[in-house]
């Protein structure tokens, strides 16, 4: 059986990225994150007109240090049209934040900097030219590129596109996924009164697979379980692979006589041959990948902790690239190791589960104490994985890492 290096596994995945179709996407409807398929240009100037950034008075260039009263000739609110007449020396126009300023405005002097009395204002201090005025097109001019292909299309990008008058853009289509956990020992829908029979375990893995895929905007349309039955697993794999883009099969990926994942993935009609079935990574060596007619199928290890590192180390960056995130790659960040980590010398790439946090301004990774593929409880506090290629990481050494818990770290919740 061929065993390939971690980097070779990623290289093969990259070479077999499915081509995802694009779809027009509204900037006015709330969606899960997607990725832009094309550069986007502003349809209007942003802001569309020169506007006041303060409640105050628009004044002429000759009056920036005026000592004599300025006559207030108009009053403009946000939503009003700009006054038709050009501002002349000696005049002021009362403006509210967001209101268009008249032609001839050199600055807006905020209310706190004037004495206003009887339709006139007196400056309490000189005002620099340009003060509190945002010129039309200051943020972007019509035709400027405001977002690029490969950038994320989420609420933040939608806000920019809307403001710049872009109501629709092209994004890559979102993906659908199915999870198929296999194993006759798995209890998948416990009732309150039901305990484990001898030899049984509660199915755990689909929980984090489903929630992490959801955070990537992948809709998980089916979560199924199959006993260790060759035909049942193959049938479910075929049915699900026809229905969704991404099939994640867990369990039965190893070499035992009841390990049917490879056969099941191979029997999916069409597509290309299995890209790999075993990777020099620990945990997570039994790891299958196969392009299918509708997308892709992975066979992850049955051990939940091994499936977790396989998923975050290779499946997540692959899915992100497939979704259109051009920059996605395994272990994209670096951190300093906190505490020494030692392991048996093997040619495997080890993937450590651990915790990323800030020490001052430095990102620091602390490995969980228990790294065995049989230990799952550490996942409650795990928020990252790190790559270890030798048998030792010294305290303070730079290590490549990946977040595994999305936005939670920035809230300090984990
Ligand atoms: N003779 C060999 N045996 C094994 C090898 C090997 O190279 N030669 N590899 C070992 C390694 S490494 C791993 S990892 C496991 C992976 O095996 P499978 O993918 O076939 O996984 P299973 O045997 O189906 O299950 C392993 C373990 O995990 C439990 N499990 C499975 N699914 C779930 C789930 N959804 N939730 C919770 N727990 C689950 C299952 O009960 C087993 O205890 O193979 C080694 N063996
Ligand atoms: O690859 Mo296995 O996950 O080490 O137990």
Beta carbon of 299 within 6 Å of any ligand 1 atom: no
Between β-strands 145-147 and 40-41, what pairing exists: parallel, antiparallel or unpaired? antiparallel
pLDDT at residue 410, rounded to an integer: 52
- Going by pLDDT thresholds of 50, 70 and 90, the confidence category of residue 192 is low
At the top level of CATH, the class of 6-20+175-323 is alpha beta
The mean pLDDT of 40-51, rounded to a whole number, is 98
Assign residue 261 a region: left if phi > 0, alpha if psi is -120 to 50, beta otherwise?
alpha
Is the pLDDT score of 412 beyond 60? no
Mean pLDDT of 302-331: 95
Pairing assessment for the beta strands 51-52 and 133-134 based on DSSP bridges: antiparallel
Say if residue 188's pLDDT is above 90: no
Please name the CATH architecture into which domain 333-411 falls: Beta Barrel (2.40)
Does the 51-134 domain belong in CATH 3.40.50.800? no
Q: 203, 188 in Cβ contact below 8 A? A: yes
Distance 268 CA to ligand 1 centre (A): 22
Tell me what pLDDT residue 279 has.
97
pLDDT score for 12: 98
- pTM score of the predicted model: 0.88
Give dist(CA 327, CA 36) in Å, integer.
13
Residue 411 has pLDDT above 60, yes or no: no
Name the residue at shortest CA distance from atom 17 of ligand 1: 254
The pLDDT score that the predictor gives to residue 196 is: 87
Rounded to the nearest angstrom, the gap between the alpha carbon of residue 264 and the centroid of all alpha carbons in its chain is: 31
Query: Could you report the per-residue pLDDT of 116-166, keeping only the tens digit for each?
Result: 999 999 999 999 999 999 999 999 999 999 999 999 999 999 999 999 999
pLDDT reading at 109 higher than 90: yes
pLDDT interval class at 233 (50, 70, 90) = very high
Read off the pLDDT of each residue in 87-108 and give the average, rounded to a whole number. Answer: 97
Q: What is the pLDDT of residues 260-272, one digit of tens each?
A: 999 999 999 997 9
CB 16 within 8 A of CB 275: yes
The values of phi and psi at residue 126, to 5°, are -70, 155
User: Is the bond preceding residue 47 a cis peptide, omega within 30 degrees?
Assistant: yes
Give the span between the Cα atoms of 291 and 337, in whole angstroms: 36
What are the boundaries of each domain within the chain?
6-20+175-323, 22-46+138-172, 51-134, 333-411
> How many residues are given for the chain?
414
The answer to whether the beta carbons of residues 363 and 335 sit under 8 Å apart is yes
Say what the pLDDT of residue 258 is: 79
Confidence of residue 413 (pLDDT cuts 50, 70, 90): very low
Give dist(CA 230, CA 306) in Å, integer: 23
What atom in ligand 2 is closest to the CA of residue 286?
Answer: 1
Provide the pLDDT confidence category of residue 189 given band limits of 50, 70 and 90.
confident
Percent of the chain with pLDDT strictly greater than 70: 97
Tokens 């009887």, residue located: 118
Mean pLDDT, rounded, of the chain: 94
Residue 303 CB–ligand 2 contact under 6 Å: yes
Q: Is the CB of 310 under 6 A from ligand 2?
A: no
What one-character-per-residue DSSP string does 203-227 give?
--HHHHHHHHHHHTT-EEEEEEEE-
Is the CB–ligand 2 distance for residue 285 below 6 Å?
A: yes
Output the pLDDT for position 135: 97
Instruction: Report residue 407's pLDDT band, with 50, 70 and 90 as the boundaries.
Output: low
d(CA 309, ligand 1 centre) in Å: 14
pLDDT at 251 over 50: yes
**Token couple for 55:** 């409640």
Q: 22-46+138-172 domain in CATH 3.30.499.10?
A: no
Q: Residue 145, exposed/middle/buried by CB under 10 A (0-12, 13-18, 19+)?
A: exposed
Closest CA to 208 of 382, 329, 9: 382
Residue 306 CA to ligand 2 centre (angstroms) = 6
Domains 22-46+138-172 and 333-411 share a fold: no
Give the model's pLDDT for residue 178.
98
Q: Which residue has the higher pLDDT, 258 or 220?
A: 220
**Chain centre distance of CA 34:** 9
Determine the pLDDT at residue 257. Answer: 83
SS3 379: helix
Residue nearest to atom 45 of ligand 1 (CA): 254
CA 310 vs. chain centroid, Å, equals 19
């Amino acid at each position: 059986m061929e065993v390939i290096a971690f980097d070779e596994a990623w290289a093969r995945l990259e070479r077999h990225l499915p081509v995802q179709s694009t779809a027009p996407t509204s900037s006015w409807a709330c969606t899960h994150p997607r990725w832009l398929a094309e550069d986007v240009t502003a349809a209007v100037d942003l802001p569309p007109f020169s506007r006041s950034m303060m409640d105050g008075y628009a004044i002429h260039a000759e009056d920036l240090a005026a000592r004599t009263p300025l006559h207030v000739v108009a009053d403009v609110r946000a939503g009003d049209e700009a006054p038709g007449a050009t501002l002349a020396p000696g005049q002021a126009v009362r403006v509210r934040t967001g209101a268009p300023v008249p032609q001839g405005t050199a600055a807006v002097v905020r209310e706190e900097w004037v004495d206003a009395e009887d339709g006139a204002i007196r400056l309490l201090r000189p005002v620099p030219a340009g003060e509190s005025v945002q010129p039309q097109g200051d943020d972007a001019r019509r035709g400027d590129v405001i977002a690029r292909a490969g950038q994320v299309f989420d609420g933040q990008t939608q806000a920019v596109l809307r403001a710049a008058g872009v109501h629709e853009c092209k994004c890559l289509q979102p993906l659908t996924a199915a999870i198929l956990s296999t194993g006759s020992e798995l209890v998948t829908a416990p009732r309150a009164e039901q305990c484990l029979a001898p030899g049984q375990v509660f199915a755990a893995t689909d929980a984090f697979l489903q929630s992490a895929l959801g955070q990537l905007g992948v809709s998980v349309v089916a979560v199924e379980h199959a006993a260790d039955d060759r035909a049942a697993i193959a049938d479910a794999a075929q049915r699900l692979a026809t229905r969704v883009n991404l099939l994640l099969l867990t369990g039965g990926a190893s070499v035992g006589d009841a390990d049917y994942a490879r056969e099941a993935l191979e029997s999916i009609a069409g597509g290309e041959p299995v890209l790999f079935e075993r990777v020099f990574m620990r945990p997570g060596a039994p790891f299958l990948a196969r392009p299918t007619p509708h997308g892709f199928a992975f066979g992850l290890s049955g051990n939940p902790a091994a499936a977790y590192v396989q998923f975050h180390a290779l499946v997540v960056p692959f899915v992100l690239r497939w979704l259109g995130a051009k920059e996605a790659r395994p272990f994209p960040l670096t951190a300093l190791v906190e505490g020494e980590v030692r392991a048996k010398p093997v040619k495997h790439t080890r993937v450590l589960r651990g915790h990323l946090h800030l020490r001052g301004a430095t990102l620091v990774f602390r490995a969980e104490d228990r790294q065995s593929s049989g230990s799952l409880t550490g996942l409650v506090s795990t928020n990252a994985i790190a790559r270890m290629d030798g048998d030792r990481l010294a305290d303070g050494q730079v290590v490549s890492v990946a977040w595994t818990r999305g936005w939670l770290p920035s809230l300090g919740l984990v």
